Amino acid sequence: MRPRSLVTAALIAAALALASNNARAADQSVVVAQSVEQTHTINVAMVEQLPAIEQKVSFLTGHGPEQATYTGALLWSVLDRAGMLGGDRRARLRRTILVTGRDGYTAVLALAEIDPEFEGKQVLLAYRRGGQPMDGHTLRLVVPADRHGGRSVRDVARIDLH
């Protein structure tokens, strides 16, 4: 290949990569479902419309301790807005939430853990860390008071109620 052809090929590859990243950032939707019939799609802009909560969290990772301040909406509020919370208070005790990241990583919470009438843990779907938007304008599950960050799911793609 001639040098000019190599430069042209490199520029085309860079342009395609940039276009792909921009398309990915523009379409960071999250599926919220409890059955095939009851599925909703949310995105960062929709989550930002809910009341914002700021949480300073600290947890252990495989690389040492991590401390950060996250801003987002309560997971409870997101599920409520999506119409996923029924009125049967006792049934909520048996339900779980499975949160999946785009990389396939999953975490499970009990619905009663975030229910204000039970534990009321302030679990967030965060869209900011340290005042800055998440990389790629994605959402992150933040579970405060967990000793380890194992339930901190990055780049949330799906939330299922069981």
pLDDT tens string 74-115: 999 999 998 888 777 787 888 999 999 999 999 999 999 999
In what helix (H) or strand (E) does residue 106 lie, and over which residues does it extend? Answer: strand 106-110
Assess if CATH 3.40.190.80 describes domain 28-161: no
Tens-digit pLDDT profile for residues 42-83: 889 999 999 999 999 988 888 888 899 999 999 999 999 988
CA-wise closest residue to 29 among 39, 10, 44, 47: 44
Look at residue 36 in the predicted model and tell me its pLDDT: 57
pLDDT over 60 at 8, yes or no: no
Quote the CA–CA distance of 133 and 127 in Å, as a whole number.
6
Gyration radius (Cα) of the chain, Å: 19
The domains of the chain are located at 28-161
The pTM for the full model equals 0.78
